[in-house]
Amino acid sequence: MSTRGVLLVLSGPGGVGKSTVVSELRNFENFYFSVSATTRRPRANEIDGVAYHFVSEDSFQQMIEKGEFLEWAEFAGAKYGTPRMPVVEALESGKNVLLEIEIQGARQVKRTMPEAVMVFLAPPSLEELESRIVNRGTDSPERVAARLALAHEELAAAGEFDHIVTNHRVEDVVEALVSLATSVKGK
């Protein structure tokens, strides 16, 4: 039985409910939640260092040049990246790691860490996804339009993932993720 933690990558279209799943998963022990760096502005309820490390374009660029990211990508006009070291250290200490990232980043993780368990979170329907993106209320109309277009592209990537979990109920998604981590770790 492996003592190394399991790297779970949770991806899927923006607006599908990934961050709600992550907050629920926080109630489970032995998971490390990666805190990404981003160049986008914080939303009203977001705390620096908790939701994200909010950084300038310059700092983000420096992090890229120093090779500090496990993966990074541009999404709807901002850059997002996963700092590598905390992930590696958590895995080595036996913790499971959850990355909640968009599709281009997920593809990079699969290339560099093929043992990663790739999970695509799918919406119950396209209509529901669209209404979630439109009704979020925190983004400008331009960003909403960009996010809708991206969501359609992202849905097309579902087949690239090891597992597709449909977000009917958050509790069920969390349970599916926990049992995936447990079953992979047991191997």
Q: Which residues of this protein are in contact with ligand 5GP, per CB under 6 A?
A: 14, 18, 36, 40, 71, 73, 75, 80-82, 100-102, 105
Between vectors from CA 165 to CA 159 and to CA 167, what angle results, nearest 5°?
Answer: 125
The minimum distance between CB 158 and ligand 5GP, in angstroms, equals 14
Q: Which is nearer to ligand 5GP, 2 or 43 (CB)?
A: 43
- CB-nearer residue toward ligand 5GP: 40 or 185: 40
- Could you tell me the smallest distance in angstroms from the CB atom of residue 115 to ligand 5GP? 19
- 37 to each of 70, 79, 82, how far by Cα in Å? 11, 8, 6
What distance in Å separates the CA atoms of residue 157 and residue 160, rounded to the nearest whole number?
6
Q: Least distance in Å: CB of 30 to ligand 5GP?
A: 21
All residues at 6 or more sequence positions from 62 whose CB lies less than 8 Å from its CB, including other chains: none
- Contact assessment for residue 49 and residue 35, using Cβ atoms and an 8 Å cutoff: yes
Tokens representing 120 are 């695509």
**Of the two residues 101 and 180, which places its CB atom closer to ligand 5GP in the complex?**
101
Residue nearest to ligand 5GP (CB): 105
The Cα 176–Cα 21 span in angstroms is 11
At its nearest, how many Å lie between ligand 5GP and the CB of residue 132? 11
Longest dimension (CA), the chain: 50
Minimum CB separation of residue 56 from ligand 5GP in Å reads: 16
Rounded distance between C-alpha atoms, residue 166 and residue 163, angstroms: 10
**Closer Cβ to ligand 5GP, 67 or 186, answer by number:** 67
Closer residue to ligand 5GP in complex, CB, 18/132: 18
Identity of the residue numbered 175: E
